[in-house]
Amino acid sequence: MTKTPHNLAAELPLLVLRGIVVFPPSVVPVAVSRPAAIRLVDDAVTAGDIIAVSAQRENDPDQYYAIGASARVHRLVRLHDGTLRIALQALERVAIEQVTQREPYLRASVHHLTDQTDVPDIAARMQEARERARELLDALPPNEELRTQLESVNNPRHLAALLASMFLVRASLAERQALLEIADVSERLVRISALLTHELDILRRHLRM
């Protein structure tokens, strides 16, 4: 099979996720219930393969966003009804180009997308986003584990993934997907800061009621 310069297979199994946008390089818990998706996960775990994941559009599991992520699958548990609870270790952003197989599950040709982190203002954007997240944590019940994660992350991609995955509780699927599609991590952090400010405003209004 052809390999990209980043050792990412040019064709990958495609897992479409309902209501979830996966941000590399985060680890995300996922419930898998559709038979085709369960078989995909079983095959990927057995072979140790990398897969592609993308958020589902509307209510159709065959409709998905063109920008997703590559990921490794860790099966956590198979429930009594046959559904799976897994963890996805997201690796890199990918563009999903074309479906190459539909049965027994989707496969698609993909290519790796590079995040831009070598920009002059990225340290300032990280500081701004971290400060907005601190303010949000201060307004919520204590969560020392999340606060420790926030303070310990120094990589801009990791910080953006943590904030987008764990702090943006009220952001819509479309807003999350728009973040994933931004190549410039500095710009991604600016957008995350704005969404965090919006979350904090809503929370403060709620607390005053």
| CA separation for the pair 121, 71 (Å, rounded) | 29
User: How confident is the model at residue 4, as a pLDDT?
Assistant: 42
User: How confident is the model at residue 209, as a pLDDT?
Assistant: 60
User: How confident is the model at residue 59, as a pLDDT?
Assistant: 83
The enclosing H or E element of 157 equals: helix 156-166
User: How confident is the model at residue 75, as a pLDDT?
Assistant: 80
| CA separation for the pair 49, 26 (Å, rounded) | 18
User: How confident is the model at residue 10, as a pLDDT?
Assistant: 86
Domain residue ranges of the chain, discontinuous segments joined by +? 11-113, 122-208
Burial of 189 (0-12, 13-18, 19+ CB in 10 A): buried
165, 26 Cβ separation under 8 angstroms = yes
Q: State which fold the 11-113 domain adopts.
A: 2.30.130
Question: Mean pLDDT by 10-residue block, N- to C-terminus, for the chain (209 residues)?
Answer: 50 96 95 95 94 93 94 90 94 95 96 93 97 94 95 97 95 96 98 96 79
Residue 74 DSSP SS3: strand
User: How confident is the model at residue 1, as a pLDDT?
Assistant: 37
